Amino acid sequence: MAQILNPLAAHIRTVKKRLIIIGATILVALMISFAFSGEMVAWLNRPFPNQLVFYGPTEALFASIKVSFLAAILASLPVIFYQCWKFIEPALLPKEQRWGIPLFALAGALFALGLIFCNLVILPLVIDFFVSFGMDRDVTPELSVGTYIDFNVKFLLIFGCAFELPLVLTILARVGVVTASVLAKYRKHAIMASLIVSAIVTPDATLFTMLLMAVPLMVLYEIGILGARIFGRGGPTEVSLPLDPDLPIGGPAGHRVR
């Protein structure tokens, strides 16, 4: 029992240590980014022609904390990825370890690309559409900073995560879970799933914002099919088990039998 608990306790200590490092990094980045929260709010306010207002004593403060927290997460991504990598590295074979850092770097780049695309393309379209809709009906737009920042941060996080879809599909195809032909066969199902997910995760359930989310998801799904076709194995991997039941079929990391 002690031999089982000792590795488990060491494993828990390692997880705790890496979570503390990640949390401390995010906290420091949050304090630094909070000093520039005014500039970040002004940057997000670009698509809206009027000045933002606040209706409660703490609304402006919490809006600044939200945008600072998003910036802190982005600034801490290298540390987060590094700690995740060092945690799983001992369980990987040398060949798998060579792919680890490029995959983490690609995941970070895709997340950043999703944020950039959302900030420069999607958010201006969404905000301009809704503001113009109200102004056409002689309604003066007056947006609170809390609601506006919450709307922006949700959209940014959603698109950042959505841009990971091609990488996820490519990895699944690479390890033999799916194939490009299977993904192409279920294209209609993926389109329906994109519409459903968009209706659920978008901050408002209007058809316009749902399509702005669903269409990029469909495009990303097609890119995932292309990645699966290029890097996938092309079919399920057959595993040959040893005839002798006394022979081991696995071992510690670095000595696993493929």
Q: What percent of the chain has pLDDT over 70?
A: 86
Domain presence at residue 178: no
Nearest Cα to Cα of residue 54 among 149, 137, 158, 138: 149
Taking the C-alpha atoms of residue 115 and residue 225, their distance in angstroms, rounded to an integer, is 22
Domain presence at residue 77: yes
Confidence label for 204 from pLDDT (cuts 50, 70 and 90): low
Higher pLDDT, 50 or 237: 50
Domain presence at residue 59: yes
Q: What is the mean pLDDT of the chain?
A: 81
Domain presence at residue 202: no
Confidence label for 64 from pLDDT (cuts 50, 70 and 90): very high
- Which residues contact residue 256 at a Cβ distance below 8 angstroms, ignoring those fewer than 6 apart? 93, 250
Q: Are 81 and 104 in contact (CB under 8 A)?
A: yes
Domain presence at residue 74: yes
State the total domains in the chain. 1
Give residue 32's pLDDT.
Answer: 95
- Residue 31, classed as helix, strand or coil, is helix
- Residue 27, classed as helix, strand or coil, is helix
Give residue 108's pLDDT.
Answer: 87
Domain presence at residue 69: yes
Give residue 234's pLDDT.
Answer: 54
Nearest Cα to Cα of residue 130 among 44, 49, 26, 17: 49
Higher pLDDT, 250 or 224: 224
Give tens-digit pLDDT for 155-203: 898 889 889 999 999 888 887 888 889 999 989 999 999 888 888 877 6
Per DSSP, 109 falls in state H
Give residue 84's pLDDT.
Answer: 85
State pTM to two decimals.
0.76
Q: Which helix (H) or strand (E) holds 163?
A: none
Domain presence at residue 16: yes
Give tens-digit pLDDT for 21-46: 999 999 999 999 999 998 999 888 88
Mean pLDDT of all residues in 121-133: 84
Give residue 222's pLDDT.
Answer: 92
Q: Which domain holds residue 102?
A: 2-163
Domain presence at residue 118: yes
Confidence label for 238 from pLDDT (cuts 50, 70 and 90): very low
Taking the C-alpha atoms of residue 158 and residue 144, their distance in angstroms, rounded to an integer, is 22
**Res. 92: pLDDT tops 80:** no
Q: Beta-carbon neighbour count of residue 72 at 10 Å?
A: 20
